[in-house]
Structure 1
Amino acid sequence: MIGRLRGTLLEKQPPGLVVDVGGVGYELEASMTTLLALPGVGETIQLHTHLTVREDAHLLFGFAREKERALFRALIKVNGVGPKLALAILSGMDEDQFIRCVMDDDIKALTRLPGVGKKTAERLVIEMRDRFPQWTQATENALAGLEQAATGASASDSRADAEAALVALGYKPTEAAKMIAAQDEGLSTEALIKGALARKLAG
């Protein structure tokens, strides 16, 4: 089992990234919360990881914080929730926001996440509620104070990349396009995604 990686960030194209560890390039998938927290390409990073083994592939997932990985592992134990949906949930809200939704029975907020219908939201609340009393509800805001990576890409490229990232997270192409169109011009890919997800969560 691969539990942690430390190396050089080679590529960052949401929702995927490549990390060079001793000359070996590891491909990982990560939530948008983790991707936004990472520095620019060429910098040294450290990620907590989770390895999923399937018949047709070995999938490695990376997380900026141990708490996020713990929630990911709890989510994929819920009936009907796989790794892709778990990443979409973690991309739409951080751990503390998700805990608050579950503890407050906020089904409406959960259904704003891609791939989460009313029945899935209700299942999440029922199955996850009993797992949270032991969690420390930290006051950290995972999206606050994050450095924006310099992309050097044109505005049109940034918007196209942001749309593609949202589609990869489970949003429909038309919905992703509307979410990006509502953002200001000249923003980086990361900023566009962050703004789109924040607006979606706010309803």
Structure 2
Amino acid sequence: MIGRITGTLAEKSPPLVLVDVHGVGYELDVPMSTFYNLPGLGETVVLLTHFVVREDAQQLFGFLTAGERSTFRQLVKISGIGPRMALALLSGLSVAELSQAVAAQDTARLVKVPGIGKKTAERLLLELKGKLAPDLALPQAASTEAGNDIVQALMALGYNEREAAAALKALPADVGVSDGIKLALKALNK
């Protein structure tokens, strides 16, 4: 089993990367969260891997963090979720955002990921409940109605979901909607 690869980053073409390890080039599919955080071409990279062997193919998937790899492994255990769909999920949502969606049982958030329909999203929420890292659960403010309203308001103002969620994490747990929006806007405009 291949668990980790350390080598020189030879090519980057989303979602595929080529890592040269002492003259042998390994092609790895990576989620976009990993892709955006890769070093430049010619630099050394360390990727945790997951190796999939099927009748018609052998695929190697790479991840920068152990959290991404363990979440990927949880996803592929679910019936009907293959490596490609798991990669799409991790490309569309960070591990923390996926954990938040599962904790809040937020189907709408998962449906925004290309290739995930309502039934698949519901099955994911059911299967993943209690299986993702507990330290990635929702911050207190985000678990309230006010937190959801603040995120929706920020998205309506043109911020993406990641920016809105990041701003929400910085807010006090007991903040109201209007005060929360004001504080979040101040934080985002810094």
Scaled by the length of structure 2, what TM-score is found?
A: 0.71
Higher relative contact order (Cα pairs below 8 Å, separated by 6+ residues) = 1
Q: Summarize the alignment of residues 52-131 of structure 1 with structure 2, pairs less than 5 Å apart.
A: 52-131=52-131
Q: Which segments of 5 or more consecutive residues in structure 2 lack a partner in the other structure?
A: 139-158, 166-190
Q: Summarize the alignment of residues 42-53 of structure 1 with structure 2, pairs less than 5 Å apart.
A: 42-53=42-53
CA contact (8 A) 1:9 1:17 kept: yes
Deviations 1:84-106 (A, max 9, x none): 00000000111010000011011
CA contact (8 A) 1:92 1:198 kept: no
CA spacing shift, 1:27–1:135, aligned 2, 3 Å? same
Aligned residue number for residue 38 of structure 2 = 38
For the aligned residue pairs, the C-alpha RMSD in angstroms reads 2.2
Q: Which segments of 5 or more consecutive residues in structure 1 lack a partner in the other structure?
A: 140-194
CA distance in 1, matches of 2:16, 2:58: 14
CA distance in 2, matches of 1:102, 1:78: 14
Structure 1 runs, 4 residues or longer, greater than 6 Å off = none
Q: Does 1:137 pair with 2:136?
A: yes
Higher helix share: 2
Scaled by the length of structure 1, what TM-score is found?
A: 0.67
How many residue pairs match? The answer is 144
Report how far residue 130 of structure 1 moved: 2.4
**Paired-residue identity, %:** 49
Q: Which has the larger Rg? A: 2
**Aligned to 2:128, what secondary structure does the other structure show?**
helix
Report how far residue 79 of structure 1 moved: 1.3
**Aligned to 1:8, what secondary structure does the other structure show?**
strand
Report how far residue 22 of structure 1 moved: 1.2
CA spacing shift, 1:87–1:34, aligned 2, 3 Å? same
CA distance in 1, matches of 2:161, 2:37: 15
**Aligned to 1:39, what secondary structure does the other structure show?**
coil
